[in-house]
Every structure is written in structure tokens, then in C-alpha cells.
Amino acid sequence: MRFLPVADVGRPSGPTGIDDRPGMNPEIKVAIIEDDPQVLANAAAIVEGTPGMKVTGRFDTAKEALESIPRLRPDVILCDLRLPDMTGDAVVTELRHRGVKSEVIVVTVHDDPDSVFTALKAGANGYLTKPVPPADLVAAIVQIYAKGAPMSAPIARRVLDVLRAPGSASVDSELNVLTPRELEVLELLSQGFRYKEIAAKLGVSVPTVTTHLHRTYEKLHVSGATAAVGKFLGGNKMPSS
């Protein structure tokens, strides 16, 4: 994952959704799994520079993360997909097996369907593609901490592509079929609209928008759904970008 250089990282501008007055909000504890030292430092600087957030662990290998995260119990984990000793989705799977309930955001350059749905099947709760501006990363952490489901526009497009591709009817049925409103939210998100803009267009609240996305993730987590998607992708490979 790639963030702005350290020199450009400070307290993100604009509202974060966190009230930084003493005692108003619990601190959001964030763990970061990233093998690039500069990227790891940049991500940590963004988190530490945001009131109401703190870094509880920095890891450049899966082994270190798996040994420490169950004990640290962070609220949110930022995880890259490509690590030297294990893939990011394998790390998420193992963390879930070890009883870790932290919200996981995958942050990566990979937006191909295989990577997206493998991460979702593993138990990721959010998926962002780089580059990620500091303010967007902070917003994603706040959203997922509030049980939202951050999803970047390219990923929304990928989900829609899979659901709408020829031969995807079986995938639809095993996904328990996304509701018209869930598809509508995905469509607007794929066009680059932010949650607040989507809420205004649909005449609903921002929490309602995030609820729709959270339910979409939950449906994609279902083993039958991911198996169906995997089967579909196996016979209908879409080009990676």
C-alpha cells in the first residue's frame, strides 16, 4: 500500500468523525501489517497524527503479526496483501482462526476480482486500493470502527462487474441476491460518489449507506457465496489492472 511521503503527512484536514475532547471517545487502536519500511512509517504517521487514534503494533512480517495481534487486540488492522512470508488474505484467515475479532481493512494495489473476493472470503471487512490519501484512510478507519464497510470505487466496480457479467445468475442466487438498494449504493460508489453524496442522492442517512455496504460484505463472506463467485471467476477470468 502507498501513502503520501512523511513530509506531507500531518493531521488530516476536514472532519474525521472523532470528537477529540477529553473523555468524549475511546481511542481507536490500530495495528499495521506492511513489509515496506517507508510505507509502514507513513501509515503509522497518519494514524498517530489523528486525534483519537493510536498505533498499537507495526509488523513487517506475517509471523510477527500473528504472534502479537491476538494479545494486542487492536480495534482495526490495516493489512497489505503481499507480505514476504505469507499472503495478506492468509494472514486474515489465520487471525480469524485464532479468534481475533478486529475489523480488517485490506489496503493494496490489487483490484482484480480474485484478490478482492479472496480477501473477502478470508474475513476482511473493508478493501481500499492505493494510492490512499491520508484523509481517506482516516475516514475508512472511523467508518469500520463504527461497523461500516469502507470500499473504494474500483472495488465497487469489480463487485458489480462480477454480478452483472454473462453467466453470473448462479452467483446472484448463491449470494442471496443483493437488494436493489444495495446494488444502487454500489453503483453510486463505483461512480466515485462519497458516502455523504450517496446519502443525499438516495434521501437516506450516511449510517444507512454504510449499513447497506456492511450487509453487502456479509453476503460476500458467506461460504456458499464465495464458492459461487470463485467458480464463476474460474471460468470467466477478468483482466487485472
pLDDT in tens, 67-120: 999 999 999 999 999 899 999 999 999 999 999 999 999 988 887 877 887 887
Helix (H) or strand (E) holding 213: helix 206-221
Instruction: Output the pLDDT for position 211.
Output: 87
Q: Is 240 a residue whose pLDDT tops 90?
A: no
Report the alpha-carbon distance of residue 211 to residue 182 in Å, rounded.
9
**Which domain range does residue 210 map to?**
156-235
Within a domain: 205: yes
Instruction: Output the pLDDT for position 114.
Output: 78
Residues 231 and 164 in one domain: yes
Residues 124 and 147 in one domain: yes
Q: Is 163 a residue whose pLDDT tops 80?
A: no
Sheet holding 76-79, edge to edge: 53-59, 28-33, 76-79, 103-108, 126-129
Query: Do residues 25 and 19 make contact, with C-beta atoms less than 8 angstroms apart?
Result: yes
The total domain count for the chain is 2
Residues 178 and 161 in one domain: yes
Instruction: Output the pLDDT for position 8.
Output: 37
Instruction: Output the pLDDT for position 230.
Output: 54
Instruction: Output the pLDDT for position 14.
Output: 41
- Between 182 and 1, the higher pLDDT residue: 182
Residues 121 and 206 in one domain: no
Summarize pLDDT for 180-212 with one digit per residue, the tens. 898 888 888 888 888 899 999 999 998 899 888
CATH of the domain at 119: 3.40.50.2300
Within a domain: 15: no
Residues 136 and 231 in one domain: no
Mean pLDDT of 156-173: 65
Q: Is 234 a residue whose pLDDT tops 60?
A: no
Instruction: Output the pLDDT for position 158.
Output: 75
Report the alpha-carbon distance of residue 144 to residue 138 in Å, rounded.
10
Determine which of 69-73, 167-171, 232-236 has the lowest per-residue pLDDT on average. 232-236
Within a domain: 68: yes
Residues 31 and 55 in one domain: yes
Q: Report in angstroms the alpha-carbon separations of 28 from 40, 66, 135, 145.
A: 18, 20, 16, 8
Instruction: Output the pLDDT for position 117.
Output: 78
Confidence of residue 168 (pLDDT cuts 50, 70, 90): low
Q: What is the pTM of this model?
A: 0.71
Q: How many helices (H) and strands (E) does the chain have?
A: 11, 5
Query: Do residues 144 and 150 make contact, with C-beta atoms less than 8 angstroms apart?
Result: yes
Instruction: Output the pLDDT for position 10.
Output: 40
Q: Is 11 a residue whose pLDDT tops 70?
A: no
Spatial CA neighbour of 158 closest among 129, 201, 190:
190
Q: Chain-wide mean pLDDT for the chain?
A: 79
Instruction: Output the pLDDT for position 74.
Output: 97
State the Rg of the chain over Cα: 17
Mean pLDDT of 7-16: 41
Summarize pLDDT for 19-62 with one digit per residue, the tens. 444 445 679 999 999 999 998 999 999 999 999 999 999 999 99
Residues 102 and 189 in one domain: no
DSSP character for 162?
H
